[in-house]
Structure 1
Amino acid sequence: MIDMAVGKILAKNRKATYDYFIEDKLEVGIVLKGTEVKSIRQGKLNLKDSYASIDDGEVYINNMHISPYEQGNIYNVDPVRKRKLLLNKREITKLLGYIKQKGYALIPLSVYLKQGKVKIELGVARGKKNYDKRADIAKKDAERRIKQHMSEKH
């Protein structure tokens, strides 16, 4: 779904793939103020604990922390304010269908620049249980050992 002509990745939510199974991915735009864009271009944002919600047919991202821009003075806004995401009606109804199913959430996976615009990769995610997380860790550990063993032979 996502075009791989992505520019500079500014932030990545590494915890998302650890805590959730990502079912679907979607590229969305975001409504920002000028000083927020400057701060994001400097890489001063944090996606940890952020999530998206659907309110009155609009999609918003919550708890995404964008540090205030140093030269922004009076134009700076609240760092964790609710920000609107730009999606069309069809995409919103598709996401609403996912959300109504039990256990699904909208999680931002990464923030990047694409043709000079700030874009967010939004993932439709289902929460993992502790045993799922342990299985993933064991699988990665086994792959790491196999790779290490193969490199020792060569």
Structure 2
Amino acid sequence: MGQKNSKIKIVCENRKARHDYFIHETFEAGLALVGTEVKSLRAGRANLKDSFAFIRNGEAVLENVHISPYEHGNIFNHDPLRTRKLLLHKAEITRLFSKTKEKGLTLIPLKIYFARGKAKVELALASGKKNYDKRQAIAEKTAKREIDRALKERQKY
């Protein structure tokens, strides 16, 4: 069973998260979903923009994740923006709760994917970037891109 990452199908990613936050740690959590949500996710119809997670009453909760209603669903279709429970171990929940309370860290989802047939969320323990941090990151990225381009041009000759 050494092929852990072989059966992962990414549904959606929060690309803006790495731009807006410093990522300190990542966690994998299960998602408690209803049937039509799973079908909609398998069709790739989800959006993580402006979503976040928090701990409430000893449970991890995911908020503002938009999973579109299933096209072939009926009157029992789900609410697209409903609050969804995250499935984590009790020790992980208490650890995350203490970290988010004391250090000014927040929980944000980075991506939703299917692993071994189960819907999973990659959560990140992150702190917000200031505007100057974002500008510095963009400057570093463009400098690296220019260096790579120059090296590639040099290797042609």
Aligned to 1:90: 91
Unaligned runs of 5+ residues in structure 2 are: none
Instruction: State the one-letter code of the partner of 1:67.
Output: S
Answer with 1 or 2: which has the greater Rg.
2
Unaligned runs of 5+ residues in structure 1 are: none
Structure 1 pair 13–122 and aligned structure 2 pair: CA distance change class (3 A): same
Distance 2:103 2:125 in 1: 12
Aligned to 1:115: 116
Distance 1:75 1:26 in 2: 32
Aligned to 1:76: 77
Distance 2:22 2:60 in 1: 21
Q: Secondary structure of 2:81's partner?
A: coil
Distance 1:23 1:6 in 2: 26
**CA apart distance, 1:102:** 3.6
1:54 maps onto 2:55 in alignment: yes
Distance 2:39 2:107 in 1: 25
Q: Secondary structure of 1:107's partner?
A: strand
User: How many residues are aligned here?
Assistant: 152
CA contact (8 A) 1:35 1:72 kept: yes
Distance 2:77 2:91 in 1: 33
**CA apart distance, 1:73:** 1.4
**CA apart distance, 1:103:** 2.4
Identity of aligned residues (%): 55
Distance 1:6 1:142 in 2: 36
TM-score (norm 1): 0.96
Q: Secondary structure of 1:75's partner?
A: coil
Instruction: State the one-letter code of the partner of 1:112.
Output: Y
Aligned to 2:17: 16
Q: Secondary structure of 2:44's partner?
A: coil
CA contact (8 A) 1:6 1:112 kept: no
RMSD of aligned C-alpha atoms? 1.1
TM-score (norm 2): 0.94
Moved over 4 A (4+): 3-6
**CA apart distance, 1:4:** 4.2
CA contact (8 A) 1:27 1:121 kept: yes
Q: Secondary structure of 1:80's partner?
A: coil
Aligned to 1:135: 136
